[in-house]
Amino acid sequence: MAMNPMQRRARNSFLVGFLVALIIMALLVFLLLYKIKGLNEAKQELESQFITVYVASEDLESGQVITLEDNFVMENVKTSLDESQVISSDDFLYIDEDGNITEEPKEMMMKVNVPSGTIVTKDMIVESGEQTTDSQRIQEFNMILLPSQLKNGDYIDIRYQLPNGQDFIVLSKKKVLGTNETSLWLKLDESEILTINSAIVEAYQLTGSKIYAIPYIEAGLQDAAIPTYVPDSEVYEQMRINPNITNEAKTELFNRYSHDADMRNNYIVPSLTPYAEQRDSLVESGFQNDAESIRAARQEFVESLEGTGDVGYER
C-alpha cells in the first residue's frame, strides 16, 4: 500500500529524529567513558602518591637510639618521596660479607630532630656504632666530673685535663646508659677499660688534674672525636699483649703512644720548685670550686628528673 506524502514525511522525520537521538546518545556515552577514564587516571595518579611508610610515633631527637618497634608506626601517606628513600626494616639489620641481609639487629640513632608523624628517610638515621662485641662490659664510674644537665641517652667524650691546661680525649662518643648525681654507666671494650683506668690512676696522682665528661651537641650529626690520651708504659705493655684487644686497637694505641706519651709524661714529673707547688695548689683549689658548683647544679637537675627515664640505671 503506497504511503501518502504526509505519512512519508512523518516516517522520515521519525527516522531522522531517531538517528539524531542515537548520535547524541553515542556522544554522551563517549563523553561519559572519556570522563570515567580521566577519573580512573586521576585516581591512579593519586594512589601512586600514597605509599606505606614508617613515620615517627613520637618526637625524636638527634642522637636518640631508635628501633622500629618502639619509635615508628606504619601508615599509608601521600608523598612525592620514592620508596627507596624511606626507611625499611632492612636498614636495621646487618649485611654479611656476601651482601646478604642477616637477622642480626644493629643499633641505629637519629641524625636530626623530627616531630611525631614525620616520614623518616634513610638520610635521617645513622648506625650508632654501639655494636656489642665479646670484650664489652658495663662499667660504672663515680669519679668522673659530670655536666650538670647530663641525662640518659646522651653521647659524651671522657677527657683528662692536666693542671697546665693540656687536655686529652680518653674515650670518644660513648652513649650514657645510665646516670645519676654522681655516677655514670658506659659500655666499654677491653682496650677502653684499660685506657680509662690508666687515666684515673694518673689523675689521682697528679694534683690539679681532672677527668670529666663533655656531651655532644648533635650526636647524630657529629662524628666521634679521635682519642688523644695514651696509657702509661706499664698499662700500654699490658694492652699490647692482651688477647682481648683487637689488632686494630693495638695498632691505633701504638701510633698514639709513640706520638703523645712523652709530652704528657714530661709534665707529670715536674720539677719540685716552690712555684710548681704553689701553681698546683691554686689549680687544685680552682678545680675544686668548679666541681662543687657543677655538682650542686647537677643535684638540682637530677632531682627535677626523678621518676622519669632520663636518669638512673636499670639493667
- What pLDDT is stored for residue 171 in this prediction? 94
- What pLDDT is stored for residue 208 in this prediction? 79
What is the C-alpha to C-alpha distance for residues 152 and 312, in angstroms, rounded to an integer?
Answer: 8
Tens digit of pLDDT for each residue in 38-77?
777 767 766 667 788 899 999 998 888 899 999 999 988 8
Give the strand order in the sheet containing 210-215: 167-175, 155-161, 210-215
- What pLDDT is stored for residue 271 in this prediction? 43
Query: b or e along 144-154 (b: 16 or more beta carbons within 10 Å of the residue's beta carbon)?
Result: bbbbeebbbbb
- What pLDDT is stored for residue 277 in this prediction? 59
- What pLDDT is stored for residue 59 in this prediction? 93
**pTM score, two decimals?**
0.65
Residue 128 to residues 21, 27, 132, 168, 173, Cα–Cα distance (Å): 74, 65, 11, 23, 10
Domains of the chain: 50-127 (3.90.1210), 137-304 (no CATH)
Residues in the chain predicted with pLDDT less than 50, given as ranges, are: 271-273, 275
- What pLDDT is stored for residue 251 in this prediction? 65
